[in-house]
Amino acid sequence: MGMHLHTIRFYLYRKVFMKKFLSVTLLFIVFNAHSQQLKKYPVAKTGCSVYMFCDPGNFETSYSEDSSKVITGECIKDGFSYGLIYVQLKEIIHSKEDAEGLLESYLNFLKGQFTIREAAGYGKGMHLKEREDIIGMIDYWQSEDNQHWSIQGWTDGKILTVLYVKGSEQADYNKQQLFFKGFLFPGM
């Protein structure tokens, strides 16, 4: 009878332990999944929004040399900086080719600002959420301080935006794509 009671106790302890273990494991999985979720943030009062893995806080507003409104925001999650540069163009660009040219010129300008020493080369011909009026460009950079940059630019001829992920190593491709495709123009 003593052996039978010992077996029952072992079974009960194991059952209780497994319940607690599964509860803690499930809690960890839920917490981990929650911490990796994108959350929607309005980009100041532009009518645009962006899905980010972390809270960018208040976006900062400034003006470029040609008086275009520039709004920036950044946050850090898991060792990576997620950032956004929004430019309200002073003049509307109606030609897709001219808009793409302006986007490429702006990305070239940013290379100098971020001291980029290597670039993979622009990937062109992208559209955001199947909208033919929104064109995009992607690139991968490395700066002089050995930071790895993943860059995605979008423009509709009225707004130009650049999203970036920066870190000491290359960011997870799937996470960066979720972030890059998480920018929403007005009305989206």
Say what the pLDDT of residue 65 is: 87
Say what the pLDDT of residue 35 is: 46
Say what the pLDDT of residue 32 is: 43
Residue 20's alpha-carbon distances to 13, 29, 137, in angstroms, are: 11, 14, 49
Report the alpha-carbon distance of residue 101 to residue 49 in Å, rounded.
Answer: 24
Q: Which residues in the chain land under pLDDT 70?
A: 1-36
Sign of the CA dihedral 30, 32, 33, 37?
positive
pTM over the 0.85 mark: no
Other Cβ atoms closer than 10 A to 158: 16
pLDDT 10s digits, 107-146: 999 999 999 999 999 999 999 998 999 999 999 999 999 9
| φ, ψ dihedrals at 3, nearest 5° | -65, -40
